[in-house]
A and B are shown apart, each in its own frame.
Chain A
């Protein structure tokens, strides 16, 4: 009797569904949701993690110039890099789209390579290209009569370099997304626009962009989150230097929390990535809900 009840329970749809999703729920609850909330608690402890100090860590951060520099640099880094990634991706997607179909695969395959190489490894390649005494770029510059550049030694150039490498790594992703989106724009729309006498700029502005609006929004949003939370490139290229000028939240939190041994302070720093996440989440949720409503 009891066995029969159990078996019936096991056969019930919702029980099966629950069991199938259980590993996912456990994984996310234990290793994503719990740590995320735990970091809020951590950020309110003192350095030895023995005593609750409330918001003292944040108060301490607010008095430090380095912290404000990190905030500024994180924003500059993320916004500039995403802007250029999106622009380059958009333009190159058009160039690839323009060439005859049989060549497109080849170009696409070649242009996606920066995205495929693990960033830690390709960034080492850039690091060697930027080497202070053996820079291969500087060798070219000197050849054509330009002054040698201290790529990673000068604060301004170092900021430029980390953004350059991030754009190099991320632009191919935008290219692929935008190319897929371009292919889904019906050809008739362009024909209709051509009959109405639209020039290429008007075609882009009135046909391509509106048709790609969703995909542009979602890639930019994603990339903004990922770029804002970037660690690999800055860590390998400059490790935050010179004089902390290129630190972003992730590298500074790593320096404070893991290397400096102050987990509480590190947690407080990394929590500042949360606002941008929240904003992105709101936009994405709105988008999902809207699509859900359209579908039903």
Chain B
């Protein structure tokens, strides 16, 4: 473009102009594609919201499915008064909150020991923790099923088909990853801090509770969010280990009890899904930075 410009000065300004022009064009294209992908990413949730605001009659009517002609909150009212749905919600809430606490109780001390107190086999253990994170639940649910059945026969404790069984299994999904990212957070705390505390006569437990936990609090919050969302969303374990409706958590409950092959219940199903997705979405909306920190920490710190 500016190759045959008469003088160096105009050539440079032409070049600068074309650079600016290029940059603006790149910006417009970026916006164009971002809008395109935003449509792709947001269509399902928006369509779920649209459907959830429709009455059964409108869901079955042959009108524009992308528009609500007579918006109604009946589906949400029905859900919030349905004992079954509220039971799923309660089970999910208890399980997820307890799993968060259990996960923290297990992984904070372990991460502290692995990050700071070098002992025999600590490096191997840290790597091993990371590797167990890679073993998928889809490999474990069948042996676990058999083990729980065996426990039932041998010790006469009925584990299967109780919502609290999930409190025992979910930590296998959350603890390895949480420990792993916490090792990273703890390792980034300057050594001088705990050396100073040691000189002042603090024990290891005091160092953990008085220094490491307060300093690494952002990391702990990120790990807690991770543990909560994972337990809230898990689908395979409740499908495999719980069967009666009053013992189900949300994802499995919605899928197994609300779908009755009746097309016109879809408004309610979509409402149930959106309400069920609310806790993670709210956490995400208010604590987005922690949420994202938890997501990215695993790979960048590893």
Contact = CB atoms under 8 A, between A and B. Distances in A.
Contacts of A141: none
Is chain A's binding surface mostly helix, strand, loop or mixed?
helix
A107 interface: yes
Contacts of A128: 47-48, 51, 266, 269-270
Most buried by A among B60, B112, B277: B277
Contacts of A253: 138, 142
A225 B251 CA distance: 22
Contacts of A31: 140, 144, 168-169, 171-172
Nearest to B179: A24
Interface string A99-121: 10000000111111110111111
Contacts of B79: none
Contacts of B232: 118
B239 interface: yes
Contacts of B302: 218, 287-288
A96 B134 CA distance: 30
B113 interface: yes
A62 interface: no
A92 to B, nearest CB: 5
Contacts, number: 292
A125 B65 CA distance: 13
B64 interface: yes
A177 B299 contact: yes
Nearest to B236: A231
A68 interface: no
A23 B110 contact: yes
Contacts of A208: none
Contact of B299 (A11, A25, A126, A215): A215
A190 interface: no
A25 to B, nearest CB: 7
Contact of B277 (A111, A122, A136, A215): A122
Contacts of A240: none
Contacts of A17: 113, 117, 119, 122
B169 A284 contact: no
A11 to B, nearest CB: 8
B27 A39 contact: no
A107 B117 CA distance: 42
B121 to A, nearest CB: 9
Interface in A121-144: 121-122, 124-126, 128-129, 131, 133-134, 136, 139-140
A177 B296 contact: yes
Contact of B34 (A92, A171, A177, A228): A92
Most buried by A among B41, B51, B105, B179: B41
A38 B66 CA distance: 50
Interface in B82-131: 105-107, 109-110, 112-114, 117, 119-120, 122, 125, 127-131
Nearest to B127: A288
Nearest to B105: A23
A148 interface: no
Interface stretch (B4-12, B70-78, B189-197, B280-288): B280-288
Contacts of A119: 233, 235
B45 A271 contact: no
A79 interface: no
B187 to A, nearest CB: 10
Given A110-B42, A136-B66, A23 B106 contact: yes
Nearest to B238: A120
A230 B26 CA distance: 37
27 contacts: A13-B204, A23-B109, A24-B129, A28-B129, A35-B144, A99-B30, A114-B45, A116-B281, A118-B250, A118-B276, A119-B235, A125-B47, A131-B263, A133-B263, A139-B65, A171-B41, A177-B296, A215-B300, A225-B136, A229-B138, A229-B139, A232-B235, A249-B138, A263-B142, A270-B142, A273-B139, A280-B134
Interface of B: 26-27, 30-31, 33-34, 37-38, 40-45, 47-48, 51, 59-60, 64-66, 105-107, 109-110, 112-114, 117, 119-120, 122, 125, 127-132, 134-147, 168-169, 171-172, 175-176, 179, 203-205, 229, 232-233, 235-236, 239-240, 250-252, 254-255, 259, 263, 266, 269-270, 273-274, 276-277, 280-281, 284-285, 288, 291-292, 295-296, 299-300, 302
Interface of A: 11, 13-14, 16-18, 20-21, 23-25, 27-28, 31-36, 38-39, 42, 49, 88, 91-92, 94-96, 98-99, 107-114, 116-122, 124-126, 128-129, 131, 133-134, 136, 139-140, 168, 171-173, 176-177, 180-181, 200, 215, 218-219, 222, 225-226, 228-232, 235-236, 249-250, 253-254, 257-258, 263, 266-267, 270-271, 273-274, 277, 280-281, 284-285, 287-288
